[in-house]
Amino acid sequence: MSRYVLVHGSWCGGWIWDRIAERLSGQGHTVVAPTLTGSGLRQHLDEVGRLLEDQVVLVGHSYGGMVVAGVADAHPEAVREAVYLDAFLPLPGESAFDLMPMLRQPFTEAALSYHPSGRTVPPFGLEALGFTDPDVVSRLRPIDLATHEERLPPSSGQRPPGRCVLFGEHSPFRPMSVRAREQGMECRTVATDHLGLWTAAAEVCAAVTGTSRTH
């Protein structure tokens, strides 16, 4: 059995993994799904790094891919595999905004509209992402703009093996799958929206474990 460390994306918390975690636990795996509390990417790397034990499987959704990649770079000896679910797949020195420059303006404008500091990004554009469940929407929280501005630290080691999973044929993260294949990663697609780990938990859990559909 494996130890899974699940890293959520923007505006969410560890609770967004509940349906996946229940299935993984039911298969006998150990599951940790922290809620990131730091105000920037580098703090999130530290938070997740402290949860590592020998040979964990790191799983990141969306922004969580930034964290997973950075932690895998920093602790390759402790990571058996990294799984990127509709997620960023950065190289050292890259930020989320570097990978998706089209996000910079709407994130910045949303932050300026939300607070005079212009540093806090509220949840926005939710329906297009599949955030339609009222229970999910009510639990979303703002994030710091630094999460998408800060660049992944340099790395001198070799990144552990990884897999890439896209949510839908038209996922905005499709360029990440191209990069993943160039790095020799296995890639697959689950027919769902960006919130698939909530709306299509059985299919996504199967993709996380690398098996067929799990009920």
Q: Which residues are catalytic?
A: 62
The tokens for 35 are 């809620």
Q: What is the DSSP letter of 76?
A: G
CA distance to 11, 20, 107, 114, 117, per residue, from 37 (Å) = 11, 21, 19, 19, 19
Q: Check the CA dihedral 60-61-63-65 and report its sign.
A: positive
CB 72 within 8 A of CB 79: yes
Q: Check the CA dihedral 194-200-205-211 and report its sign.
A: negative
Angle at 125 between CA 6 and CA 169, to 5 degrees: 65
Name residues whose C-beta falls within 8 Å of residue 82's C-beta, 6 or more positions apart in sequence. 57, 58, 59, 60, 68, 69, 72, 159, 160, 161, 162, 163
Q: How far is Cα 55 from Cα 205, in angstroms, rounded to an integer? A: 19
Q: Which amino acid is at 185?
A: M
